Amino acid sequence: MQLSDFDYHLPPELIAQTPLEPRDSSRLMVLNRTAQTIETHRLFRDILDLIHPGDVLVINNTRVIPARLPAIKQDTGGASEVLLLRQLTPTRWRALVKGRNTKVGTVLAFPGSPMTATITEVLDDAERIVEFSEPPNDSLANVGEMPLPPYIRERVSDPERYQTVYARQQGSAAAPTAGLHFTPDLLLALRAKGVQFANVTLHIGLDTFQPVKVEDITQHKIHSERAELTTQDAEIINRAKLAGGRIIAVGTTSARTLETAALVSAGGDPAHPDQPLDLCPWRPVASFNADTRLYIYPGYTWRAVDAMITNFHLPKSTLIMMISSLAHHLTPSRRKNSVLSYRDEWDHFDRIALMRTKFGIALIVFAIATLLVLIVLPSVITDSPLLNQFLGRLFCGSPTAYLNDSYSSTAQSSTSFFLRASCLTPDETRTDIGGL
């Protein structure tokens, strides 16, 4: 598979520079794999009609930090800049450092702050390991600026506009942009309809926006990202899958995390997803907190996700390769023509797509059988340790309690797309979404 397969001409004037108000007025394109159709004349708020009671929206609750720190070299006064990528310890970060001769031992000062940073290690290109004189988190509000993708030239006047309304866990250098289109009112309407929510946390670095440079895309070395799926949220997803519901990944980061969780549950290595695995129908995903190097491109077998809500993505990026692996029935020219025929704003401020997959017959049969078992023998399954162990061995190869998700993984991890989910009781619903 060649890099040129994922290239297209993107006119700069199509890239939206300022966000729309309200958030949910962005345009929505719907790709339906089953019907092989593309709808192009919807607004994002119409998603309320496309998501059904019992579906689960999986959101990335990461929060963007003011990670861009203007700096000067302490010895020469030369201009520099530190862009925080990942926290390693309270004072040690992996970062991009701009400026000439930023070598080991270079000390950087930050105007308006007594804090300094010393480069302790030189990595590839402009990446460095820097040691701060004090934990920088407390100073970011004063000395840091909100980082924006390289194709956004306009400053966002309200920094909260580059956060999702449900952002909670600080640590990203970029926003999970698919979620920018949700409003509190839309979240309330979805919940009132019976849609459930589950959280993942994946802190995004600017590696996400780096183009692939090798012509054979299978030789590309994917960047790693720290991701987490908690036991509580894994249980929401597992219950939904077992009941035949859809799991809907909001964005590529949620998709990557979900697919990682599925591979981890099956005992696989997300860095090598092509290895044959026996998936466990009683525990489709497992909780984890680890780095993921999952690389998804056409040919990948989706294990956890049925569909995805996503923005459009840059040419030659790993993100457009992930999208192509889901929408593989559409030819590249048809996908590109559908997008560019708008002659309108493109990117994450004004254009988003919902991609729907189809279910295999085996999954439908299994879901129906599972529902019958849950209706006829609920107390037997949940209260009998012997039957629990038998079912665990039968389906998963090892003793596993029904819906138990105590799996602890040291493997690397990744993400997924847009799934079927079940109706959960109100006390099983997370209450920290969008400040609700």
Percent of the chain at pLDDT above 70? Answer: 74
Whole-number pLDDT of residue 52 = 92
CA angle 116, 152, 309 (to 5 degrees): 110
pLDDT-wise least confident of 11-15, 47-51, 209-213, 337-341? 337-341
Among 44, 23, 12, residue whose Cα is nearest residue 345 = 12
Alpha-carbon distance of 289 to 201, in angstroms, equals: 9
User: Which residue's entry shows tokens 């390289």?
Assistant: 150
Per the model's pLDDT, the better-predicted residue between 223 and 103 turns out to be 103
Per the model's pLDDT, the better-predicted residue between 276 and 94 turns out to be 94
CA angle 25, 357, 420 (to 5 degrees): 85
Q: What is the mean pLDDT of residues 218-222?
A: 90
Q: Count other C-beta atoms under 10 Å from residue 413's C-beta.
A: 30
Q: What is the mean pLDDT of residues 283-310?
A: 92
CB contact at 8 A, 394 and 274: no
Instruction: Please list the alpha-helical segments (H only) found in 244-289.
Output: 252-265
Among 311, 247, 315, residue whose Cα is nearest residue 23 = 311
Per the model's pLDDT, the better-predicted residue between 372 and 105 turns out to be 105
Per the model's pLDDT, the better-predicted residue between 68 and 334 turns out to be 68
Measured in residues, the chain has a length of 436
What confidence tens digit (pLDDT) does each residue in 348-369 have?
444 456 666 543 333 333 333 3
